[in-house]
Amino acid sequence: MSYETSLAYAPSNIAFIKYMGKADQANNIPSNPSLSFTLNDLCSYVEVRKVKNMKTGVSFVKELPNINVINNAAQLYRPQLSNVEIKRFTHHIDKVKEKSLDVLESFHLGHESEGFLEIRSANTFPLGAGIASSASSFAALTLSLVYTFCSNKEKFLKVYENDLNFRNLIAQISRLGSGSSCRSFFGPWVKWVGEDVFPVKHDFPNLAHFVLLVNKDPKKVSSSQAHQLVKTSPFYQTRLLNMPEKLKQIEDYLKAGDIKNVSAVAWAEFMEMHSLFHTSNQSFSYWKPETLEVLSWIHPSVGVDQSSPIVTMDAGANIHFFIRNEMKELFKEKLQRQFNRFEILEDSTGLGAKIIC
């Protein structure tokens, strides 16, 4: 049986200015622009194997992708997909088939989507590790599929590497499956406005990233539910009005390499998002007592000087820290000394999704 395989890598990303609330639910168009940092090792790999002489169809194979070709020797975890997740991925595969036709044709790359698809996927982090796998897995799946459907693979790789607009169009397809996945195509600093995603100019040093896992329970409120509920907070409209100024500020600070002020803005921003959760008309919270313990411990160091940690939280209980690379070991020791009862994940600055082979 003749088949061809494509393997894609996509990292997770963490927003410093959060995407919270959708302007268009069906197409995952955000109500406000967001700005994120791309991770490196906390990522997904998706292998698509196209069996050519078989009827069109899809199967999610319970095997890891062919890791021999993955140079980074990280431990891999195969996601156990529920029926709902399989349905969501299958729906997305149909969308990618449909939407990639125009994108590939407009770049004269040729489109060939016939055949049976076997999908193998893996993450470098286990479920419940406080890292959302949807951004990295939808980005890796989308990229691997578009590459599979392309008939001129050599040209694809060149265009993907050099043409940000091409990459943006693939990110837009990925966004239809998972909103924040579109930011995983670029790095290290990425802005997403409406349909468009692009890298942001900056003069920042490489950062080390740590997640302090204070709680590993599954979330009671999904991010999709949160996107809807926040609209009922009396502070939601004010947040939207203030957003252009906040975004301009953080972009200026990134351009100026001003860690002190990025640290201050990032703190205020995740606090604002969690305040929306706390004040929606069905009030909910991701915070645990341990979350507050960690936040009150770190708060005096936030926004102080160029050595300040940047702190943020997603829609979850765990706390993310970013620190200049040269201070990484010192900061890690400090975290371990203070919170030796919690697991710590570690990562670095990344550049976005790519084809491995």
Q: Which residues bind ligand PMV (CB under 6 A)?
A: 15, 18-20, 34, 132, 134, 178-180, 223-224, 314-315
Of 15 and 103, nearer to ligand PMV (C-beta) is: 15
Give the span between the Cα atoms of 39 and 189, in whole angstroms.
10
Distances (CA, A) of 257 to 207, 247, 290, 313: 12, 15, 32, 22
Look at residues 353, 349, 322 and name the one whose alpha carbon lies nearest to residue 135. Answer: 353
Give the span between the Cα atoms of 61 and 51, in whole angstroms.
13
CB 179, CB 22: distance < 8 Å:
yes
Shortest distance, CB of residue 38 to ligand PMV, whole angstroms?
12
Of 20 and 207, nearer to ligand PMV (C-beta) is: 20
CB 354, CB 9: distance < 8 Å:
yes
Of 263 and 318, nearer to ligand PMV (C-beta) is: 318
Please confirm whether the linkage preceding 188 is cis (ω < 30° from 0).
yes
State the virtual CA torsion across 176, 181, 182, 184 in degrees, nearest 10: -160
Of 44 and 148, nearer to ligand PMV (C-beta) is: 44
Distances (CA, A) of 325 to 91, 190, 353: 40, 19, 22
Of 34 and 113, nearer to ligand PMV (C-beta) is: 34
* 261 torsion bin: left (phi>0), alpha (psi -120 to 50), beta (else): alpha
Of 65 and 352, nearer to ligand PMV (C-beta) is: 352
Shortest distance, CB of residue 22 to ligand PMV, whole angstroms?
8
Shortest distance, CB of residue 340 to ligand PMV, whole angstroms?
28
Do you know the residue count of the chain?
A: 357
Shortest distance, CB of residue 180 to ligand PMV, whole angstroms?
3
Give the span between the Cα atoms of 46 and 276, in whole angstroms.
35
Which residue do the tokens 């890292």 mark? 131
Shortest distance, CB of residue 33 to ligand PMV, whole angstroms?
10
CB 310, CB 266: distance < 8 Å:
yes
Of 88 and 334, nearer to ligand PMV (C-beta) is: 88
Of 157 and 221, nearer to ligand PMV (C-beta) is: 221
Shortest distance, CB of residue 317 to ligand PMV, whole angstroms?
13
Q: Tell me the one-letter amino acid at 257.
A: G
Shortest distance, CB of residue 171 to ligand PMV, whole angstroms?
13
Shortest distance, CB of residue 81 to ligand PMV, whole angstroms?
17
Look at residues 117, 120, 3 and name the one whose alpha carbon lies nearest to residue 52. Answer: 3
